[in-house]
Amino acid sequence: MSRYSARCLLASAFPLLCVSVLSAAEPKPLGLSWEKNYLTIRGDFPGDEIKIMYLEAYCRPGSTDREWGQTVIPHKAEELPQKKSDGSIHLLDTLADGVSVRHVITPGADEVDFQVTANNPTDKESQAHWAQPCIRVDKFTGAGNADARTLVPAYAKKSFIFLDGKLTRLPTEPWADKARYIPGQVYAPKGVDRNDVNPRPLSKLVPSSGLCGCYSADEKQIMAVAWDPYQEIFQGVVACIHSDFRLGGLKPGETKKIHGKLYIVPADIEKLVKRYEKDFGK
C-alpha cells in the first residue's frame, strides 16, 4: 500500500484525528533528487513519486518531418555542488554548440518551480529552439505503461489540455494518426512554426494555454505542468506528458530566461487555472 493510499484510508476511518494532526503541522516541501538526467519528485501523492527525464533533448528547428537524430543537439548536464537550504537543485547543461543553460529547481508543498537561464557565449548563433522535460505519469495515473505505444493508451485518457479556455480530456477530436513516427499527439500553440515540433502526429487543434496534465487513478488529484514560453504540448510514447519549453534560438552573447511550474494539487480545475494565471501573469 502506498503512502497516499494509507493516508486516504486513515482519513476515512479517523477524520477528526487526521484534521487535527494535519492542521498542526506545516506542509513539507516535496522531495527532489537528480541523477543521470532524471529528476525525481517524491511526496504524499498517488504513486509516491514522479520521474522526469530532465532533460530528454535540446532540439533544432525543422524537426517535424526529419529523422530525430538530426534534430537533437547533444548536451551534458551536471548538478552544481552548492548548499541549498531550500531543498532546490541547481543544474548546468552544456550544449555541443557551446550554449550553457542553468536550471534552478525549487520544491514547494505542492509544486516545483523551474527557473531556466540560457546563454550563448559563442560568436555563432545557436539553433537550440526548444527542450524536452519528459514527465513519466504511469504511476500517478495508475494506468501503467504496458500499452503506452498504442494509438490511445490508457494514461492518455487521464490526460488533458485546454482548448478555448476549457479543460479537454484526451483523446481530442480529431485525433491525428499520421507522421514520421507514430503514435503520440502533438499540440502547437499560436506563433510556433508547425515545421519545428516533435515528429509525431500533429493535431490541428491549438491549445489556448500551455497548461496541461493528468488526473490520478482515483481522479482526486491532478499533476499539471506549464512553461512560458512553450514550444508544444506532447502526449508521448513512454506514458509521458510534455510541456516543452521554447528557446527560439540564441544569438551570439544572448541570454534568455524561461519559467516553469509543476503542480500536484487536488482536482479543482478552477483553482488550478487561477493559480496558473497568477504564476504566469496570464
Hey, CA dihedral for 118, 122, 126, 131, is it positive or negative? Answer: negative
What is the rounded CA–CA span in Å between residue 199 and residue 188? 12
Answer whether 149's CB lies under 8 Å from 183's CB: yes
Q: Look at residue 270 in the predicted model and tell me its pLDDT.
A: 97
Q: What domains can be seen in the chain, in order of their start residue? A: 54-280 (2.70.98)
Mean pLDDT of the region 246-269? 98
Answer whether 104's CB lies under 8 Å from 93's CB: no
Mean pLDDT of the region 177-184? 97
Name the pLDDT band for 2 (thresholds 50, 70, 90).
low
Contacts of 136 (CB under 8 A, 6+ apart): 50, 51, 52, 53, 145, 238, 239, 240
Neighbours of 246 (CB within 10 A): 21
Does this model's pTM top 0.75?
A: yes
Name the pLDDT band for 22 (thresholds 50, 70, 90).
very low
Q: In 3-state terms, what secondary structure has residue 223? A: strand
Q: Look at residue 174 in the predicted model and tell me its pLDDT.
A: 97
Q: Please list the residues that pair with 187 across neighbouring strands.
A: 233
Phi, psi of 117 (to 5 degrees): -125, 115
> What mean pLDDT, rounded, does the chain reach?
93
Q: Look at residue 82 in the predicted model and tell me its pLDDT.
A: 75
pLDDT above 70 (res 162)? yes
209 DSSP assignment? S
Q: Look at residue 282 in the predicted model and tell me its pLDDT.
A: 85
Task: Tell me the pLDDT tens digit for each residue of 85-114.
Answer: 899 999 999 999 999 999 999 999 999 999
Q: Which residue has the higher pLDDT, 25 or 211?
A: 211
Hey, CA dihedral for 179, 181, 183, 184, is it positive or negative? Answer: negative
pLDDT above 60 (res 10)? no
Q: Look at residue 14 in the predicted model and tell me its pLDDT.
A: 53
Q: Whose CA is closest to 49, among 70, 35, 63, 62?
A: 35
Q: What is the DSSP string of 41-103?
A: EESSSTTSEEEEEEEEEEE-SS-TTS-GGGTEEPEEEEE-----TT--EEEEEEETTS-EEEE
Query: Three cell numbers at 270?
Result: 478552477
Task: Tell me the pLDDT tens digit for each residue of 113-160.
Answer: 999 999 999 999 999 999 999 999 999 999 999 999 999 999 999 999
